[in-house]
Structures are given as C-alpha cells and as structure tokens.
Amino acid sequence: MESSKLFGSANWVMMLGIVGALIAAQWKHEVIPVLALAVILALTIAKIRLIVLDFMGLRGMRPNLARALMIWPAFFSALSLGKVVLAAVL
Amino acid sequence: MAAISTSEERDEGGDLLLWVLVWGELAAFGILLTGYVVMSMLHPESFELAKLHLAPRLAGFNTVVLLASSWQAALAASSHGKPRRQRLFLLGTALLGLLFVILKFAEYSTEWAATGDANLQVFFELYFLITGFHLAHVAFVGLLFLWAAIRPERSTIVTLTTVWHVIDIVWLVMFPLIYLS
C-alpha cells in the first residue's frame, strides 16, 4: 500500500473515530441518540472495509471471504443500532 | 489501493495460520457477544442499572488510543525496507497498546465497587469476561509488537498487524454494544 494513501485513509478513520468518541462522551449515563451511534457504526464499517479490502488484500480476490469478514462486525453493529432504535420507539 | 501483503506473497502455511487466528478470534468474541446480547434481553433492567456504573468517556478515549495504535501498526507494515522507521512505528503500536491496558485498568478500578451488588452480577460477570478477554489480547499482542520492534521480520509484522486490526475491530463492535446501546 502506498504510504500517502494509507496515511490519508488512516487520517480519515482517525478523524471519524475522534468525532465518534467525542459525541459518545457527551451522553454519559443517558441513552445515546441514534444519530450519534450511527456515526460510530459508520466508522466501524469504514474501518472494516479498509482493513478487509485494502490491508488484507481481498478486494476482488476472495469475494466470499471478504463478505464473511465484513458480515461479522456488521451483524453486531446492526444489533447495537437495533437495540437503541427499539428503545427509542418503545 | 494496493494491499500490504497479497495472498501470493505469503506462503500457504503462514496464510492458513493467519486465517485460523482471525476466524478463531471472531468466533470466540462472536459467541461471547451473542451471550451478552441474549442475557441483556433476559435481564434488561439489571443491565441498564449496571451500565450506569461504567465509564463511557474513558472507554471512548480508549477507542481513539486503539485506533491510533492500529494506524501505527499499518504504517509499520507499509515501512518495509526502512528498518528505523519501522521500529519506531512498531514501538508506537506497543506503547499505545500499553496505554490502552493502563486506561482499562483505571476504568476497572472505578467499576469494581459496583460488582458487589447481587442484582448487577450477571452483567458484571459478562462484562469482565468479554472486556478482560479482549484486554488479555491487547496486552499479549502488544508485547509481541515490542518483540517485533527488537527483531523485525516482514511476515511477523504482517501477521501481528492483521491480528491487531481484528482486535481493534472487535473493540469497535464491543464499544457501542456494551457502553452505548
């Protein structure tokens, strides 16, 4: 991977991480808003795509393996979001 | 974007070992997190009460620390042929991993008092099991990064970095599930 591209991608992920963590930190002891959680989950998906497709080199090479690796965190992230949405609706 | 290490570059044995490691981690944490979700549905009030004793601010900061360490690890893996730079990035990864461990123990110290409450026992048993298992991974692989900084080898660095990213991803999934939802 070219260092400059890696640096750029990492910067982007880091910024998302800091923003997500700061947003999350504002809601200590309260139910976190769905939007804040969605930002954090967007970071998770972005990071996973970056790692699986680019770092592990699975882009266009082993689509089933890449899909399986991305489904694992996507499943638990969807569960987190689902719990918060349910709590907000009920 | 080109990959750090393609499947062709790795020997078959190393490739298999890496995937066994990656899927072993994902399976183990998958079982633990599923158990956590099921128990949180069976004891919703107890889990909500127990979460009031957690420190999400500290955990949020620890998320940034772990992301920064993964970034250092990725830079180390991409610094092939530049041993001095590579060693610095490997050391940076190990030190940030150590910082994560220290912060997590600081977090545990604020939460420990609540574990005596029998109503919160189910939550805290699962909480310490899941986060403790993750913490053990961070501490152990962090030490391996320190060792890799002393004796850097490309295949070792690629394997450690991949496992470190998996540990990082597991935390990114655990953090909203345990602390925020």
pLDDT at A64: 83
What's the pLDDT tens digit per position in A42-52?
878 888 888 88
Name which of B108, B152, B70 is nearest A9 in CA terms.
Answer: B70
Alpha helices of A26-62 — where are they, by DSSP H?
34-49
- A1: nearest Cα among A67, A61, A50: A50
With cut-offs at 50, 70 and 90, classify the pLDDT of residue B125. Answer: very high
CB A24 within 8 A of CB B56: yes
Main-chain dihedrals φ then ψ at residue A54, nearest 5 degrees: -95, -50
| Residues of chain A positioned with their CB less than 8 A from the CB of B180 | 24, 27, 32, 36-37, 40, 80, 84
Q: How confident is the model at residue B88 (pLDDT cuts 50, 70, 90)?
A: very high
A73 CA: distance to closest CA in chain B (Å) = 6
In this structure, are residues B148 and B160 in contact, taking their beta carbons and an 8 Å threshold? Answer: yes
Q: What is the pTM of this model?
A: 0.84
The two structure tokens encoding residue B92: 């940076």
| Whether pLDDT at A75 is above 50 | yes
What does the mean pLDDT of chain B come to? 87
Report the residue from A1, A21, A79 with minimal CB separation from B61.
A21
Higher pLDDT, B51 or A47: B51
Q: Alpha helix (H) ranges present in A1-90? A: 3-25, 34-49, 63-89
- The string of pLDDT tens digits covering residues B66-76 is 988 988 998 89
Closest CA to B146 of B58, B49, B72, B71: B72
Q: How many CB atoms lie within 10 A of CB A30?
A: 9
State the ipTM, two decimals: 0.75
